[in-house]
């Protein structure tokens, strides 16, 4: 899979940086489905050149938020803007690119035909060859969409999402089903798009993806913001330390120590420990297992912070310190 950088067309493919005003915005938005509250006064802003990761458990309100910004739904209360316009407006849609989890793409159309059709909806689209190169689809141009593997179909969907030179790009679980090479190639393209002004809203269950791509993270639960900020700010919300080592100590025994929240057997016989503080745990490890080796201590990552926030272990706070 190739990126714009590899094809030598980066200047023609990617949008130029624009003003710093929000390109997409939810302001005090409320949405209910019967008795279920999907959004409860949610505020969200997406700026040019920014990759914003919207994270939350299933049912947290992510899909509803994206649906409102795309104009697929309307809020019960609050304001939704895309380029300062109602998201249903044709002008707003012509400046947006979308990659959803469910695409509804005709199986009988060939890849080249799909891209030609999609680009016809935009005023200044990429050429079909550029779209194919961006997603590494040159060899699949003549294949019917329904004959492709799931990963190949996701790459076609990504090419369709970027073919209109979008100023705002919505990516809903974009790398599901992709191998590591294809995933990292999409990451490179997303970074290149953002670097030259495209605003990207990313939802993903791969927290390492959010950690690798996002300039800003917003964690929501039950339609409200739990935390938002840079990745390092979200990580700092959790004081846990992760201790790993090769040890003969049984995990259940270590799990009972003071200050240890969890201990389990990892790959290659490693002992993986989650602790509130690393130092007393490390001292006891060394005292009880002199043969201990490969000791490693690190701060909790975004995945651990996300779990702590969404399990209610951290107080609700709308802005990271």
The contacts of residue 141 (CB under 8 Å, 6+ apart) are 110, 111, 112, 132
DSSP letter at 15 equals: P
pLDDT tops 50 at residue 316 = no
CA atoms within 13 A of residue 28's CA, in its CB half-sphere: 2
Average pLDDT, the chain: 87
Residue from 219, 210, 205 nearest 310 by CA:
219
pLDDT at position 305: 76
pLDDT tops 70 at residue 181 = yes
Q: What is the pLDDT of residues 14-53, one digit of tens each?
A: 444 444 789 999 999 999 999 999 999 999 999 999 999 9
How far, in Å, CA of 216 to CA of 48, rounded? Answer: 12
Any idea what the Cα angle at residue 85 is, between residues 164 and 83, rounded to 5°?
50
pLDDT tops 80 at residue 113 = yes
Residue 276 — pLDDT band, cuts 50, 70, 90? confident
Domains annotated on the chain, with CATH? 4-235 (3.40.50.300), 239-299 (3.30.70)
What tokens appear for 166 in the block?
């979008």
Laid out side by side, the sheet with 22-33 consists of 36-47, 22-33, 77-82
- Can you say whether residue 66 is alpha, beta or left, with left for phi > 0 and alpha for psi between -120 and 50 degrees? alpha
- Write down the pTM of the prediction: 0.75
Residue from 161, 67, 178 nearest 114 by CA:
161
């Amino acid at each position: 899979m190739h990126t714009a950088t590899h094809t030598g067309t980066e200047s023609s493919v990617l949008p130029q940086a624009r003003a710093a005003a929000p390109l997409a915005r939810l302001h005090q938005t409320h949405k209910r489905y019967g008795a279920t509250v999907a959004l409860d006064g949610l505020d969200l802003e997406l700026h040019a050149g920014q990759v914003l990761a919207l994270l939350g458990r299933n049912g947290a309100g992510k899909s509803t938020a994206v649906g409102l910004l795309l104009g697929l739904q309307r809020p019960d209360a609050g304001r939704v803007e895309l380029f300062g316009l109602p998201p249903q407006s044709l002008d707003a849609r012509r400046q947006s690119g979308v990659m959803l989890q469910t695409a509804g793409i005709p199986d009988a159309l060939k890849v080249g035909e799909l891209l030609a059709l999609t680009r016809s909806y935009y005023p200044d689209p990429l050429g079909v060859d550029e779209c194919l190169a961006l997603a590494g689809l040159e060899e699949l141009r003549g294949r019917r969409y329904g004959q492709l593997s799931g990963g190949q179909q996701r790459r076609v969907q990504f090419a369709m999402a970027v073919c209109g030179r979008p100023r705002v790009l919505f990516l809903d679980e974009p790398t599901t089903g992709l191998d590591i090479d294809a995933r990292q190639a999409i990451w490179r393209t997303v970074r290149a798009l953002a670097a030259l002004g495209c605003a990207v809203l990313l939802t993903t269950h791969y927290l390492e993806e959010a950690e690798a791509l996002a300039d800003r993270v917003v964690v929501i639960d039950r339609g409200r913001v739990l935390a938002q900020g840079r990745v390092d700010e979200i990580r700092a919300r959790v004081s846990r330390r992760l201790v790993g080592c090769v040890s003969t100590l049984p995990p259940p025994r270590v799990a009972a120590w003071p200050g240890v929240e969890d201990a389990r057997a990892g790959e290659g016989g490693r002992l993986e420990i989650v602790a509130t503080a690393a130092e007393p745990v490390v001292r006891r490890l060394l005292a009880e297992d002199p043969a201990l080796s490969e000791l490693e201590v690190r701060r909790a990552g975004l995945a651990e912070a996300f779990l702590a926030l969404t399990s209610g272990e951290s107080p609700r706070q709308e802005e990271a310190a």
